[in-house]
Amino acid sequence: MMNRIKENFSKFARNRIALVGAIIFLLVIFTAIFSPQITPFDPNRQDFGMISPPSTSHVLGTDDLGRDLLSRLISGARISLIVAFSAVSLALVVGVTLGLLAGYYGGLVDMLVMRYIDLQWSLPNLVIAVGLMAVFGRGLINIILAISVAWFDDFARITRGEVLGIREVDYVSAARSLGGSDGRILIRHILPNSIAPIIVQATICLAWGILAEASLSYLGLGVNPSTPTWGLILSDARGFFSFAWWLAVFPGVAIMITTLSVNFLGDGLRDFFDVREIKKEE
């Protein structure tokens, strides 16, 4: 077992870009978890209540209320990642379950799931998320729900495709003829053998989740205004961009570093699992 893990790790580590992505992403996660301990200032403390450029005391400058930008970005990391991780997990669980059921049972279940997915495909994901936020209203739970609903169909479609390919292979027939229940076959045999493209999709989706949160918050359809997230920090700074460049540049760089590391990681995983580029299905 240890040998296998070691072997797999060195196979993964040979892809240096993916390793760099993984390390950077772990650092971001670490920052998010320990954000209350490592922020140099209280993110809500107002220093003289005025905007100031990067300096030795405020490394990334302050916003219009004199709040330290670095501290706000560090505590923003936490909310942005919570939103992205929760939304992707929810989308993954719901999407994979529906994909498994649709692919395995076929018939009416398959038809209902696929027709619903057709509906979602007729609108861009972000438009779905915007529409749902209009219904739910702003808030942390609401934005998680909106993003997961808007993106779960990709998981369902990919899982279903995998299941259709595996459903009739010999080991599944063998398990069935030995009297394995449907649940056991789905969870012990089919799911592990279709997990690779799902994991790759999850990393892609994580990057989208971070971008979607930023976009929705920027548009005023995200979390509540009192919660700092990267998108909201950008949105708050809208009136000051022309003379306070640091308020525009640094939150975007924070978003970009995170999504870039996730994308590097995803690309490495794709090579590792040998998953082909995910194409639109007919």
Partner 1 sequence: MTGYIIRRLIYGILIMLAVTTLVFFLIRAVPGDPVRAMVGFESDPAAVQEIKEKWGFDEPIYVQYGMWFWNVLHGDLGTSIWLKQSVNQVLIEAFPRSLSLVVIAFAMSSLIAIPAGIISAVKRYSLLDYVVTFFAFLGLSMPAFWFGIILIIVFASNLQLLPAFGYESLFENPQAWFLHILLPATAAGVPLIASLSRMTRSAVLEELKQDYVRTARSKGVPELSVILKHVVQNAAIPIVTIMGINLAVLFRGTVVIENVFAIKGLGRMLISGAINRDYPLLQGTILIIAGIFVFTNIFVDILYTYINPTIRYK
- State the residues that interact with partner 1 by CB under 8 A: 118-119, 121-127, 130-137, 207, 211, 214-215, 218-221, 234, 241-242, 245, 248-249, 251-252, 255-256, 259-260, 262-264, 267, 277, 279-280, 282
Q: Tell me the HSE value of 148 on the side-chain side, using a 13 A CA sphere.
A: 21
Taking each helix axis from N to C end, the angle separating 69-105 and 195-218, rounded to the nearest 10 degrees, works out to 140
Query: What tokens does 181 get?
Result: 């229940």
DSSP class of 56: S
Cβ neighbourhood burial of 216 (10 Å; 0-12, 13-18, 19+): buried
The distance of closest approach from Cβ of residue 275 to partner 1 in the complex, given in angstroms and rounded to an integer, is 13
Phi, psi of 62 (to 5 degrees): -125, 165
Give the whole-angstrom CA distance, residue 237 versus residue 19.
Answer: 34
Nearest one of 145, 268, 250 to 204, comparing CA atoms: 268
DSSP class of 239: G
The distance of closest approach from Cβ of residue 130 to partner 1 in the complex, given in angstroms and rounded to an integer, is 5
Q: Which is nearer to partner 1, 4 or 280 (CB)?
A: 280
The distance of closest approach from Cβ of residue 67 to partner 1 in the complex, given in angstroms and rounded to an integer, is 20
The distance of closest approach from Cβ of residue 109 to partner 1 in the complex, given in angstroms and rounded to an integer, is 19
Q: Which is nearer to partner 1, 99 or 251 (CB)?
A: 251
Q: Which is nearer to partner 1, 134 or 169 (CB)?
A: 134
Pure H helices in 181-229 = 182-184, 191-193, 195-218
Q: Which is nearer to partner 1, 170 or 281 (CB)?
A: 281
Judge whether 18 and 269 are in contact, CB under 8 Å.
yes
Q: Which is nearer to partner 1, 21 or 99 (CB)?
A: 21
52 DSSP β-pair partners: 62
Give the whole-angstrom CA distance, residue 268 versus residue 280.
Answer: 21
The distance of closest approach from Cβ of residue 113 to partner 1 in the complex, given in angstroms and rounded to an integer, is 15
The distance of closest approach from Cβ of residue 7 to partner 1 in the complex, given in angstroms and rounded to an integer, is 26
Q: Which is nearer to partner 1, 105 or 240 (CB)?
A: 240
User: For tokens 């919570």, what's the residue?
Assistant: 82
DSSP run (H or E) holding 224: none
The distance of closest approach from Cβ of residue 279 to partner 1 in the complex, given in angstroms and rounded to an integer, is 6
Q: Which is nearer to partner 1, 190 or 213 (CB)?
A: 213
